Amino acid sequence: MIKILTITFSISVSIADTIANFFRGPGQFLRDILMSIDLTIAKLLFILYFLAIAYWVYNLPKSEVTMDDKKNGKEINLRPFALVAMGAMIIIYLIF
């Protein structure tokens, strides 16, 4: 039984190594491109991305951001929670 598991494990490792070698070239190429981007530019892009999402959430129609609470029949507006989450992410990216 242990011999079968050992053979299965070694075959699995060989297959994984083959797949990893196949993607090593393109992965290194992408890594080189992404490493050439300055960190402040990357942070700015993420901040702009989160600002765009916050703007989109702010402009959604009310019917898209409200939910009915089944227990007490009240309508819950989810927009403030989404905007606070986006604001927190923007602040985190601005600080760090």
Say if CB 58 and CB 83 are below 8 A apart. yes
Alpha carbons 8 and 14: distance in angstroms, whole number: 10
Interval 24-74: pLDDT, tens: 999 999 999 999 999 999 999 999 999 999 999 999 999 899 998 888 888
| pLDDT attached to residue 36 | 94
| pLDDT attached to residue 86 | 95
Say if CB 69 and CB 76 are below 8 A apart. yes
CA torsion through residues 56, 58, 59, 62, sign: positive
| pLDDT attached to residue 73 | 82
Q: Could you tell me where the DSSP H helices lie in the chain?
A: 2-35, 39-58, 62-65, 79-95
pTM of the model: 0.65
